[in-house]
Amino acid sequence: MRIDVWADLVCPWCFIGKRRLQRALADFQHDSNNDDVQIVHRAFQLDPSASTHSQPTVDHLAAKYGVTGEQALDMMSEVTEVAAGEGLDYHLDRTMTGNTRDVHRFVLWVQDTSPAATQPLLADLYSAYFERGERIFTVDDLMSFAIGHGINGDKMREVLESRDYLDVVASDQAAARELGAGGVPFFVFNNAVGLSGAQPVEAFHQALRQATA
């Protein structure tokens, strides 16, 4: 079973979708005795034009929609409640908005060179951003994640200071558009069954069953 997951690391629904996929997979693997599941991260930038200089998400949303900071926080309350239902402790008032190109490149490089580290790294990045309010946009921001997951920080810096994986980020984004994905998360199971959004766990169960039929 191969599952391609288009996501952005600053998308609150993507972390929820990841958690729901994990729950569905635990049931699937238990019922089918199938442990051979490959999850592939695919890059999707919600805002490829975002500044490399991060700013508080509350300020960004207030400016984008012409509302007050308090109203922007209210806009984020629904997803915070949904996340709590999945055992996730979101603190969106602490998050920063920035360009996610380099964190995608980091994950894609790890996926190629240390595949077993990819999903734990993604979970850590999501948690750091949404639950701990940490920044994940620059080489310096990402260095502690590299070290924490046994990844060569000097090599990571070399990759991110080059043009490596820029083409992969662009091609992943283009592939999502070709599949009709206007947003994320977006899941494709065995190159056959698509699922859009952080849908209920039962929707993931159904997609898994269809993909293995």
Find out whether the peptide bond into 56 is cis, omega within 30 degrees of 0: no
Confidence of residue 52 (pLDDT cuts 50, 70, 90): confident
Under the banding of pLDDT at 50, 70 and 90, the label for residue 28 is confident
The 10s digit of each residue's pLDDT in 158-171 is 999 999 999 999 99
Least confident of 1-15, 33-47, 106-120: 33-47
Q: What is the mean pLDDT of the chain?
A: 95
CA 166 to chain CA centroid, Å, is: 17
Residue 164: per-residue pLDDT: 98
Read off the pLDDT of each residue in 169-183 and give the average, rounded to a whole number: 95
Question: What are the structural domains of the chain?
Answer: 2-212 (3.40.30.10)
The answer to whether residues 181 and 188 touch, using CB atoms and an 8 Å cutoff, is no
- What's the one-letter identity of residue 30? H
pLDDT of residue 30: 63
